[in-house]
């Protein structure tokens, strides 16, 4: 009888914690709109956790392809920012919802050129940001930007 009570207590404890566990993870969605990135890539375009969306890094590819926009850092920077905007819009967010961006540049001497384009996508409120020099970005890209957005 004692062993039965111990087993019953363990089973009851496990079953009682299941609904709480499910509730904690209910707010996670893996998003792949197909508006920018091909949907067959081994990562999600974005992941929404409650009211926060985490965007995978975007490079300056032409939407639906794996072809970089021709024209160097200016064209890639503009296309990267357009891709971020498109991905946000497809998932119910916009550029004003961005709270953090991480910029990776293949050549840090192109930081000013990127900045000139980046600033045109925001009004007076800019997300927090980091910029890092990186070697070997996907597809030989000159710039990659990953972002976090939030809605109140």
What structural domains does the chain harbor? 28-150 (3.30.1330.40)
Chain centroid, CA 62 distance in Å:
18
Using N-to-C axis directions, what is the helix angle for 72-90 and 111-118, rounded to 10°? 40
Q: What is the largest CA-CA distance in the chain?
A: 78
C-beta atoms surrounding 5 within 10 Å: 9
- The answer to whether the predicted template modeling score (pTM) of the entire model surpasses 0.85 is no
H-type helices in 57-127, by residue range? 72-90, 111-118
Q: Is the pLDDT of residue 27 over 90?
A: no
Residue 39 or 89, more confident: 89
| Mean pLDDT of the region 121-135 | 95
Arithmetic mean of pLDDT, 112-129? 96
């Amino acid at each position: 009888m004692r062993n039965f009570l111990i087993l019953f207590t363990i089973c009851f404890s496990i079953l009682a914690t299941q609904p709480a566990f499910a509730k904690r993870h209910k707010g996670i969605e893996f998003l792949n709109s197909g508006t920018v990135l091909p949907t067959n890539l081994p990562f999600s375009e974005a992941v929404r956790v409650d009211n926060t969306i985490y965007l995978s890094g975007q490079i300056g590819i032409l939407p639906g392809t794996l072809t970089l926009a021709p024209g160097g850092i200016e064209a890639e920077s503009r296309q990267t920012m357009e891709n971020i905007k498109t991905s946000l819009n497809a998932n119910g967010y916009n550029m004003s919802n961005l709270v953090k961006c991480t910029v990776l540049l293949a050549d840090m001497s192109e930081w000013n050129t990127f900045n000139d384009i980046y600033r045109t996508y925001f009004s007076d409120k800019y997300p927090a940001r980091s910029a890092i020099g990186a070697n070997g970005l996907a597809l030989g890209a000159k710039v990659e930007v990953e972002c976090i957005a939030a809605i109140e």
